[in-house]
């Protein structure tokens, strides 16, 4: 019998997803408040996160479970290197370091890789499915807000092997099918859902650390106006609530 792991993760992380969308950083981002000064810090943290994640996924590519969900075409590390060179210059490796929250995120990835590698599924799913979905909308916002030159500054969200919305949708469907066919038991599924919630919390902490930079950019008054009211998230709905509708290619 097929275990709908993707549905379990999506349903089980709705509230965590909403909390990320309601961070002050993300609210401002969605309003088009994106500056190179703090966007590059986010990319630096993501570079360390993806370096850890992809190192561990590659390490387990022959694993009986993890090997089935290893798709090197999703790897983001090399693309992030392009972005960091654009924002920091050719000496970017000497310029960047992980934030405190970024260090915790990276440490967690290595910890579970050494203890229960199946939990890496939670981190791969939340990151890559997010990149292929809502991440594409964030790419467009960043490009417009920073008036970026063509083909520079958003390699993080460029998937050369999945260049069109149709290709991305087809791949996501394939990814879900593989995920749902994994030979894992109920207890492990529960642990994956719990870990996915923690992955959202780790992302939230990274965003929180950037909010000082955002506030200094727009001023405290504007910052408070934008961030004071929470909205129902894109994956969560209650009767009578307001939900921002996303195009199909942006939905996980």
Q: Which residues contact 57 (CB under 8 A, 6 or more apart)?
A: 66, 70, 120, 124
What single-letter DSSP state applies at residue 148?
A: P
Position 139 scores a pLDDT of 96
Instruction: Give the start-to-end residue ranges of the domains of the chain.
Output: 5-228
Q: What is the pLDDT of residue 243?
A: 35
Between CA 227 and CA 21, with CA 198 as vertex, the angle to 5 degrees is: 25
More confident residue, 251 or 47: 47
Q: What pLDDT is attached to residue 130?
A: 95
Residue 235 pLDDT level (bands cut at 50, 70, 90): low
Per residue in 86-109, pLDDT (tens digit) is 999 999 999 999 999 999 999 999
Indicate the SS3 state at residue 202.
Answer: helix
Rounded mean pLDDT, 215-236: 78
pLDDT of residue 222: 87
Helices (H) and strands (E) in the chain, counts: 13, 0
Position 165 scores a pLDDT of 94
Number of other residues whose CB lies within 10 A of the CB of residue 152? 13
pTM of the full predicted structure?
Answer: 0.90
- Among 207, 196, 211, which Cα is nearest to 17's? 196
| pLDDT at residue number 153 | 97
pLDDT tens digits for range 24-80:
999 999 999 999 999 999 999 999 999 999 999 999 999 999 999 999 999 999 999
- Span 136-152, average pLDDT: 96
Judged against a pLDDT cut of 70, whether residue 216 lies above it is answered with yes
**168-213 pLDDT per residue, tens:** 999 999 999 999 999 999 999 999 999 999 999 999 999 999 999 9
Q: In the prediction, which pLDDT does 227 show?
A: 87
What pLDDT score does 217 carry?
86
Which of 114 and 235 is assigned the larger pLDDT?
A: 114
Confidence band for 247, pLDDT divided at 50, 70 and 90: very low
**Is 5-228 in CATH node 1.20.910.10?**
yes
Q: CA 141 to CA 143: how far, in whole Å?
A: 6
């Amino acid at each position: 019998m097929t275990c709908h792991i993707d549905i379990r993760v999506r349903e089980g992380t709705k509230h965590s997803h909403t909390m990320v969308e309601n961070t002050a950083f993300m609210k401002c981002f969605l309003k088009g408040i994106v500056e190179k000064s703090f966007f590059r810090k986010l990319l630096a943290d993501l570079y360390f996160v993806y370096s850890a994640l992809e190192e561990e996924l590659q390490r387990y590519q022959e694993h009986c479970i993890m090997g089935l969900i290893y798709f090197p075409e999703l790897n983001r590390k090399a693309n992030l290197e392009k972005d960091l060179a654009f924002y920091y210059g050719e000496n970017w490796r000497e310029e960047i370091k992980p934030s405190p929250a970024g260090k915790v995120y990276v440490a967690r990835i290595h910890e579970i890789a050494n203890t229960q590698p199946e939990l890496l599924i939670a981190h791969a799913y939340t990151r890559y499915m997010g990149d292929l979905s809502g991440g594409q909308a964030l790419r467009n916002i960043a490009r417009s807000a920073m008036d970026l030159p063509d083909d520079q500054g958003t390699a993080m969200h460029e998937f050369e092997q999945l260049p069109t919305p149709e290709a991305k949708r087809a791949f996501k469907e394939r990814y879900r099918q593989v995920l749902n066919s994994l030979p894992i038991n109920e207890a492990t599924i529960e642990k994956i859902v719990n870990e996915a919630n923690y992955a959202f919390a780790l992302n939230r902490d990274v965003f929180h650390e950037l909010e000082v930079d955002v506030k200094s950019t727009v001023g405290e008054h504007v910052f408070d106006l934008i961030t004071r009211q929470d909205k129902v998230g894109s994956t969560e709905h209650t009767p009578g609530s307001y939900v921002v509708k996303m195009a199909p290619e942006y939905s996980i």
